[in-house]
Amino acid sequence: MENLVQIYTIVCCVLASIILSLIIYRAYKGIIKKENRQYIWLIEGNWYVKILKMLFGLAMLVAIIFAPFYLQIVSSFKSFISPGVNWLLLASILLLSGLECYLALSVSNKLLNKTYKKVVLSSIVLVLLPLALQCIYYMPKMFTYPSQNECNSIDLPVKGKWLAGHAGGNELVNYHCAYKAQKYAMDIVKVDEKGRFFKGAGNELEDYFTMGENIYAPVAGTVVGLLDSLPNVEVTLTTSDTVNPAGNHIVIKFDADRYLFLAHLNKGTLKVKKGDKVKQGDLLAQAGNSGNTSWPHLHMHIQDKPVLDNASATGFPYRFSKINKKRWFSWASVINGFLIRNDIFKN
């Protein structure tokens, strides 16, 4: 795990260095040596170059708007790198995009006179513009989630400060959405004051703050299925127990055709048995790392069948009756809130 942190940190720092070098180069060429440039509205004719510059500027404008959303909400590596590296990458992307937006208002003499320069810019626009249009299309989807009357209202299954690794109503922020039965499933990990979810190298189960955390009933209902005999698997970046993907788990029936699953629980920690009636907030078990899992986390989802069956079951959305969450800079107390990737939350 330490390797993963190092890889992400190095990749982000290298990317930021490349972008910062580009900023210096572009500022030198476009601002310091600006005598070689002229504003696009002063150019006679040459509509092709004018349109190219405007499309390029538009793509850069989209980058300015999209980058904070991507780095703060969509990116899966955010929880592995320090906030400082994340901000460095974001700041460098914003600076370069801002500079390019400004430079899009002018044209260098080379671009006006040299064919190869036009070919290069045309190719860049051909790549960037579809990407920008895709960003515009996908951005609102990060936040789309079924309305309150389509959701089951439940309690948080944990106490303390946690992070949503995969959660939300769209594949952009939640890989579970690709599977019909687990459409609104969430994977959450406990974090410390600094927002890290493991200490040290992260190679041992005990390094993870999630390991052994108490799990409470989010709904009142009847325990209709459970497993408590599987060992915790080692920390791994590949698949582990694919035969028992949920590992040790509890299934609570809380409504007609509504079953809540809590998965990857710690062996031998289940406090309930089949047929038990539970009420919201009852202690159920401890979090662990059993089943098909990379590191200790809690998986939770609601579906309409009592067994884990991707082929015929349908997943259902849920909201938390009361939750404190931090998505950008500050905490907010939310009634009937939902989580998306990278949200930090507590009850």
Instruction: Please enumerate in sequence order all residues whose Cβ is within 8 A of that of 209, keeping only pairs 6 or more positions apart, or say none.
Output: 189, 190, 191, 192, 197, 198, 199
- Select from 14-22, 125-133, 195-203, 299-307 the region that touches Zn ion (CB under 5 A): 299-307
Number of H helices, E strands in the chain: 5, 16
Beta bridge partners of 323: 334
Q: Smallest distance, Å, CB 340 to Zn ion?
A: 15
User: Looking at beta carbons only, is 190 or 299 nearer to Zn ion?
Assistant: 299
User: Rounded to whole angstroms, how far apart are CA atoms 95 and 297?
Assistant: 36
**Count of positions on this chain that bind Zn ion (CB under 5 A):** 2
CB neighbourhood size of 123 (10 A): 10
Q: What's the min distance (Å) between Cβ of 343 and Zn ion? A: 16
Task: In whole angstroms, give the CA distance from residue 162 to residue 197.
Answer: 8
Q: At its nearest, how many Å lie between Zn ion and the CB of residue 215?
A: 14
Neighbour tally for 244: CB within 10 Å: 18
User: How many whole angstroms separate alpha carbon 99 and alpha carbon 90?
Assistant: 14
b vs e for 87-108, b when ≥16 Cβ sit within 10 Å of the residue's Cβ? ebbbebbbbbbebbbebbebbb
**Interface stretch with Zn ion, choices 93-101, 179-187, 193-201, 218-226 (CB under 5 A):** 179-187
Q: Which is nearer to Zn ion, 223 or 308 (CB)?
A: 308
In the complex, the smallest distance separating the C-beta of residue 300 from Zn ion, rounded to whole angstroms, is: 8
Q: HSE-up of 6 (CA within 13 Å, CB side)?
A: 6
* Of the candidates 193, 196, 156, the residue with the CA atom closest to the CA atom of residue 333: 156
Give the shortest CB-111-to-Zn ion separation in angstroms.
Answer: 50
Q: Least separation, in Å, of the C-beta of 246 and Zn ion? A: 9
* 146 or 245: CB nearest Zn ion: 245
The nearer residue to Zn ion, 183 or 299, going by C-beta atoms, is 299
Closest CA to 233 of 195, 266, 202: 266
**Interface region with Zn ion, contact rule CB under 5 A, candidates 73-81, 188-196, 244-252, 295-303:** 295-303
> What are the φ and ψ backbone dihedral angles of 327, each rounded to 5 degrees?
-105, -45
Quick check: 213 binds Zn ion (CB under 5 A)?
A: no
Nearest by Cα to 59 from 136, 7, 2, 149: 136
Interface residue with Zn ion among 299, 319, 325, 341 (CB under 5 A) is 299
Q: CA-to-CA distance for 310 and 182, rounded, in angstroms?
A: 8
Beta carbon nearer to Zn ion, 53 or 183: 183
Closest separation in Å from C-beta 185 to Zn ion? 5
Q: How far is the CB of 187 from Zn ion (least distance, A)?
A: 4
Window of 132-140, 184-192, 197-205, 235-243 that interacts with Zn ion by CB under 5 A: 184-192
Site for Zn ion, residues 79 to 118, rule: CB under 5 A? none
> Shortest Cβ distance from residue 309 to Zn ion (Å)?
15
Query: Interface with Zn ion by CB under 5 A: which range of 80-88, 291-299, 306-314, 332-340?
Result: 291-299
Binding test (CB under 5 A) with Zn ion, winner from 100, 187, 213, 228: 187
- Measured at CB, which residue is nearest to Zn ion? 299
Residues of this chain that bind Zn ion (CB under 5 A): 187, 299
